Amino acid sequence: MDTDLTGKLLIALPSIGDPRFSRSVILVCAHSPDFAMGIVLNKPMEGIRLPELFEQLDVSTELGVPDAPVLDGGPVNTDRGFVIHTDDVISEGATLEIDGAFCMTATRDMLQLIGSSAAPRKSVLALGYSGWGAGQLEIELAANAWIVGEPDDDLVFGEGHDLKWRHALGRMGIDSGRLHVEGGSA
C-alpha cells in the first residue's frame, strides 16, 4: 500500500487478534514505508488523571490542570507522554504537524502550556504509543484487522471514550453490532 495514512484513524475490527487493540481508535501521527506510529484515543488509563500525573512529574502550571483522563496511547514507550493537540500552538522543532488540524508534541514545555493561558484550544495526553515496523501495518490492513477513517474533534478530543469506537464506525455507515470475527469467501 503506497497510501500515506498520516492524519487518518485506524479503527480496529473484531478480527484484530490482539486484545490490547480490541475496539481501539488510533490517530496515525506518522506513516512511511519504514514505520508507522499512532496514539490510541479511546483507552483511558485506570486510576490516573492529568492532575495526579502532573503532580507525580512535578510539573507546575499557571492556571492548574484540567481534570481529564490520561490515555493509554499504546504499548511502546509507555513511560513517555505524547500530547495530541490543535494546531494553534506549535513548538518549533518539537511539534509534529499531523495534518491540517492536529499536532503532536512530546515535551515538558507542552505539559506546562496545558495549564496556562497559552494552552492549545484542545488537547489530550497519552502515555505510550502504538508502533509498526516496515510493512507491518500494511499486512494488518490487508488482513482486515483495521479500517481507515477520518478523524474529527469529538473522536480525537472528546471524553466519551467508551463510545468512540462505535461512533467512528457509525460515521462510516457501519453498524458495530453487525461486525463479526468470522469471515467468508465467495
Using the structure block, give the residue that is written with the C-alpha cell 469471515. 183
Q: Give residue 182's pLDDT.
A: 56
Using the structure block, give the residue that is written with the C-alpha cell 511502546. 76
Q: Give residue 175's pLDDT.
A: 83
DSSP track, 70-83 = EEE--SEEEEEEEE
Q: Give residue 2's pLDDT.
A: 60
Q: Give residue 69's pLDDT.
A: 95
In sequence order, which ranges of the chain are alpha helices (DSSP H)? 50-56, 108-114, 136-142, 153-157, 164-171
Q: Give residue 181's pLDDT.
A: 58
Low-confidence ranges of the chain (pLDDT < 70): 1-2, 180-186
As a CATH number, domain 9-178 is 3.40.1740.10
Which residues neighbour 139 within 8 Å (Cβ) at sequence distance 6 or greater?
A: none
